[in-house]
A and B are shown apart, each in its own frame.
Chain A
Amino acid sequence: MAACVAKNPLFPFWIAAFMVAVAIFGASIPPLRYLRIAVPALGFLCTSALSLAVSINFHDGAPSLSFDGNQSVIIQVCGRSLAGLTSLLFLALTTPLTQIIAMLRLFKIPDILLDIMVVCYRTLFVFSETVHETVTAQSARLGYATLPGSIRSLGALAANLTVDVWQRSCALNIAAISRNSNGSFRFMEQSFSNRTREVSLSLTIGVCMIIIAMVVS
């Protein structure tokens, strides 16, 4: 929010640096691990920044590159994205998703969105476990020893996963029905012992950042 409010195009970069510092020094996330997780997203960000800054022109059939556009706006957009990215990484690296979902439930986010989040989060691990088991079984029988074999194995893996996911979704549906499900996934609200203190603290920090962003601008 502070990054969006700030008119100074460089301010979002300071927010991003602050969030990285909090994650590494405050939450003790190892810098290399942080970098490894951030690299794919940073790659997307760089590609987007380049596509904003650089244009490809064709003159007499020959392509040429030109740097155009409002550089200040481009820097601001990239800064905001970077600030958003680092904030999101801070949240993902410090808070279990189960607690995020529970918190969202407290904030009365629509059930349908939370149901999707819950099922995706749970099935993600079941899915990755199935992939791992299938790949191990295929590798044990030299499934990936040659290029044609690898392509064949990959195809078999995709086919197997399709059927497996379908069967698992049927089984989950039956299990839910057997426990009197009426279609929506309703769960107990989690209790947070220091909820008031933590919500007040995060609101204070957030508001402070927004005020600083406006003042600096």
Chain B
Amino acid sequence: MTQSTSDSILALNSVSYSYPDGTPGLVNCSLAIKRGSRTALLGANGAGKTTLFQHLNGILKPQKGTVYFEGNPIDYGRQGLYYLRSRVGIVFQNPDSQLFSASVSEDISFGPINLGLDADTVRVRVETALESVAMSEYADKPVHHLSYGQKKRVCIAGVLAMRPGVLILDEPMTGLDYQMQQELMNVLEKLHNDGMTIIIATHDIDFACQWSDILSILEGGSCAGSFSIDEILHNFDLLASYRLGVPAVAKLYRSLIDTAILKEATSRPRNTDELIVQIKSTAIEHGKSGFNR
């Protein structure tokens, strides 16, 4: 059972929720999200990721259990939800399900206006949010003239303009090309450095291991486990027990160790860049000791 602790900004304690047609969404789910962390939520389709997110934003109310925000149970009254939703922003998977305004800047202004901000502050927030996702030049474009990736960035800007403390993204990389994925990674990196707590639902184990600090696994509506990346990335047995697949960097690192090309290092690589650094430094060492390449 997960209890809300002082360093967890959001927590679920034995939460259960079933949809009106009887489909179970969450089953006795317990999870804690650390303040300022980058959490990747992994789970198969139908595992309950979207249901979990909707609980974190107060859209759904648990039928059993408790959801905590900043250490206190969520207040589902008008003021409590207003506060929660101003602090916890969700970017949904399908941008067409999120964007309803005619133009880009109007859509982004929707959240800040709902926060009761004055017109000048709203305008500044819209401009800042557009800059942060590199969409300033599209401010006055109609939404339907944008590409899928651009729509996704507008969705992110719409939530960023509310300046939440927690940003939740449901499958943010789906439908984005490599360039856009890199740009989005940079945006997320910057937000994390600014102290924002970020939660991402993904199927991509490589991305999850590369980007996140904590990896939480959702199975059949309940949290099957939460691990730090260092704990799980190179632990093949643990990965296999959750049927997550093996991250490419871990597989390659293990092969290089097994074939004695690399020596087991104290810090294991999290991504290919770190692995390349290790390979290069090993090559230099071998060069010094007369290793014949």
* Chain B hits for A186, CB < 8 A: 110, 113-114
Cα–Cα, bound, A129→B94 (Å): 14
* Chain B hits for A101, CB < 8 A: 102
Cβ-based interface call for A175 (8 A): yes
Cα–Cα, bound, A129→B99 (Å): 15
Cβ-based interface call for A195 (8 A): no
Cβ-based interface call for A139 (8 A): no
Given A175-B92, A188-B126, CB of A180 within 8 Å of CB of B82: yes
Given A178-B57, A179-B111, A179-B114, CB of A172 within 8 Å of CB of B85: no
Cβ-based interface call for A187 (8 A): yes
* Chain A hits for B114, CB < 8 A: 179-182, 186
Cα–Cα, bound, A39→B168 (Å): 49
The reply to whether B101 and A122 contact each other, CB–CB distance below 8 Å, is yes
Cβ-based interface call for B59 (8 A): yes
Cα–Cα, bound, A183→B182 (Å): 36
Cα–Cα, bound, A171→B95 (Å): 10
| B82 → A minimal CB distance (Å) | 6
Cα–Cα, bound, A121→B57 (Å): 28
The reply to whether A187 and B101 contact each other, CB–CB distance below 8 Å, is yes
Cα–Cα, bound, A98→B115 (Å): 23
- Name which of B66-74, B140-148, B257-265, B279-287 contacts chain A: B140-148
| B214 → A minimal CB distance (Å) | 23
Cα–Cα, bound, A146→B246 (Å): 49
Within 8 A of B (CB), among A117-157: 118-119, 121-123, 125-126, 129
- Taking each of A119, A129, A171, A179, which has the highest tally of chain B beta carbons within 10 Å of its own beta carbon? A179
* Chain B hits for A172, CB < 8 A: 97-98, 100
* Chain A hits for B156, CB < 8 A: none
Q: Chain B: how many interface residues by the 8 Å CB criterion?
A: 39
Partner of A179, one of B97, B110, B122, B144: B110
Partner of A122, one of B59, B100, B140: B100
* Chain A hits for B54, CB < 8 A: 174, 178
Cα–Cα, bound, A97→B103 (Å): 9
Partner of B113, one of A122, A126, A187: A187
| B212 → A minimal CB distance (Å) | 22
Cα–Cα, bound, A176→B123 (Å): 19
* Chain A hits for B142, CB < 8 A: 96-98
Cα–Cα, bound, A102→B126 (Å): 16
The reply to whether A125 and B144 contact each other, CB–CB distance below 8 Å, is yes
* Chain A hits for B144, CB < 8 A: 122, 125-126, 129
Cβ-based interface call for B96 (8 A): yes
* Chain A hits for B90, CB < 8 A: 178
Query: What 0/1 pattern do residues 81 to 122 of B give for CB contact below 8 A with A?
Result: 010011001101010111111110111011111110001001
Chain B residue nearest to A176 (CB atoms) is B100
The reply to whether A178 and B123 contact each other, CB–CB distance below 8 Å, is no
Cα–Cα, bound, A175→B109 (Å): 14
* Chain A hits for B82, CB < 8 A: 180
- Taking each of A98, A102, A123, which has the highest tally of chain B beta carbons within 10 Å of its own beta carbon? A98
Would you mind naming 25 contact pairs between A and B with Cβ atoms under 8 Å apart? A96-B142, A98-B102, A98-B106, A98-B140, A102-B103, A102-B106, A118-B106, A123-B100, A125-B144, A129-B144, A171-B98, A172-B98, A176-B100, A178-B85, A179-B89, A179-B110, A179-B111, A179-B158, A179-B159, A180-B114, A180-B115, A185-B101, A187-B109, A188-B109, A190-B106
The chain B residues found within 8 Å of chain A, CB to CB, are: 54, 57, 59, 82, 85-86, 89-90, 92, 94, 96-103, 105-107, 109-115, 119, 122-123, 126, 140, 142-144, 158-159, 162
Having A118-B100, A175-B100, A187-B113, one finds 17 other A-B pairs with CB under 8 Å, namely A97-B142, A98-B103, A122-B100, A123-B100, A171-B98, A174-B92, A178-B57, A178-B85, A178-B90, A181-B110, A182-B114, A185-B100, A186-B114, A188-B113, A188-B126, A189-B119, A190-B106
